[in-house]
Structure 1
Amino acid sequence: MSLRSVFIRAVFVVATLAVAGCQTTPPTQVLPEISFVYKAPIALNVAKIVVRSTYQAPLAPPHIEYRLATTPEKALRRWAADRLRAVGDSGVATFVIENASVIAQPLKTPAGIETLFGAAQSERYRADVKAVLEISDGGGHGFARAQASHTRTIAEDASLNDRQRVWFDLVDKVTRAFDTTMEKNIRAHLASWIR
Structure 2
Amino acid sequence: MRPSRRAARLPLLLLLACPLLPLAACEDTPPPTFAPMRYDYLPVLRLNVATINTVDNGQPGSVPGDISGRAPTPPDQALQHMAADRLMAAGSTGTATFTIDRASILHQPGGTLAGQMDVHLDVSSPNGQRQGYAEAHVRRTFGSSATDSDGNADSPANLYALTSQMMKDMNVELEFQIRHHLADWLVDTAGTTPSAIQQQQLGLPGAADAAAPPATATAASPAPVPSEPNAIFPTGGPVDTGGTAAPTPQAKSPPPGYLTLPPGTASSPPAASSGY
Shorter-chain TM-score category? Answer: 0.7 to 0.9
CA–CA distance in 1 between the matches of 2:63 and 2:19? Answer: 35
TM-score scaled by length of structure 2 = 0.56
- Aligned equivalent of 1:176: 168
CA–CA distance in 2 between the matches of 1:44 and 1:181? Answer: 17
- Aligned equivalent of 2:132: 142
| Superposed displacement of residue 49, structure 1 | 0.3
Alignment of 1:183-194 (within 5 A): 183-194=175-186
Q: Which residue of the other structure, out of 103, 107, 111, is the alignment partner of 2:106?
A: 103
Call closer, same or farther: CA 1:183–1:135 in 2, change over 3 Å. Answer: same
Structure 1, unaligned stretches of length 5 or more? Answer: 108-122
1:40 aligned counterpart, secondary structure: coil
Please tell me whether Structure 1 or Structure 2 has the larger radius of gyration of its CA atoms: 2
CA–CA distance in 2 between the matches of 1:59 and 1:179? Answer: 23
CA–CA distance in 1 between the matches of 2:147 and 2:72? Answer: 20
Overall identity of the aligned pairs, in % = 28
| Superposed displacement of residue 124, structure 1 | 1.5
Relative contact order (C-alpha < 8 Å, sep 6+): which is higher? 1
CA–CA distance in 2 between the matches of 1:18 and 1:61? Answer: 42
CA–CA distance in 1 between the matches of 2:147 and 2:165? Answer: 19
| Residues 62 and 105 in structure 1, CA contact (< 8 A), matched pair in contact too | no
| Superposed displacement of residue 48, structure 1 | 0.4
Higher strand share: 1
Higher helix share: 1
2:18 aligned counterpart, secondary structure: helix
| Superposed displacement of residue 69, structure 1 | 1.0
| Residues 61 and 104 in structure 1, CA contact (< 8 A), matched pair in contact too | no
- Aligned equivalent of 2:194: none
- Aligned equivalent of 2:19: 17
CA–CA distance in 2 between the matches of 1:169 and 1:159? Answer: 13
* C-alpha RMSD over aligned residues: 2.9
Cα deviation digits, residues 8-31 of structure 1 (max 9, x gap):
877655443344555514322222
TM-score scaled by length of structure 1 = 0.76
CA–CA distance in 2 between the matches of 1:98 and 1:85? Answer: 21
Q: Which residue of the other structure, out of 88, 91, 94, is the alignment partner of 1:88?
A: 91
Q: Which amino acid aligns with 2:90?
A: V
CA–CA distance in 1 between the matches of 2:161 and 2:170? Answer: 14
Q: Which has the higher mean CA deviation after the structures are superposed, 8-17 or 138-147?
A: 8-17
Does 1:129 find its partner at 2:151? no
Q: Which residue of the other structure, out of 32, 38, 47, is the alignment partner of 1:29?
A: 32
CA–CA distance in 2 between the matches of 1:50 and 1:185? Answer: 18
CA–CA distance in 2 between the matches of 1:65 and 1:20? Answer: 33
Structure 2, unaligned stretches of length 5 or more? Answer: 188-276
- Number of matched pairs: 176
Call closer, same or farther: CA 1:19–1:59 in 2, change over 3 Å. Answer: farther
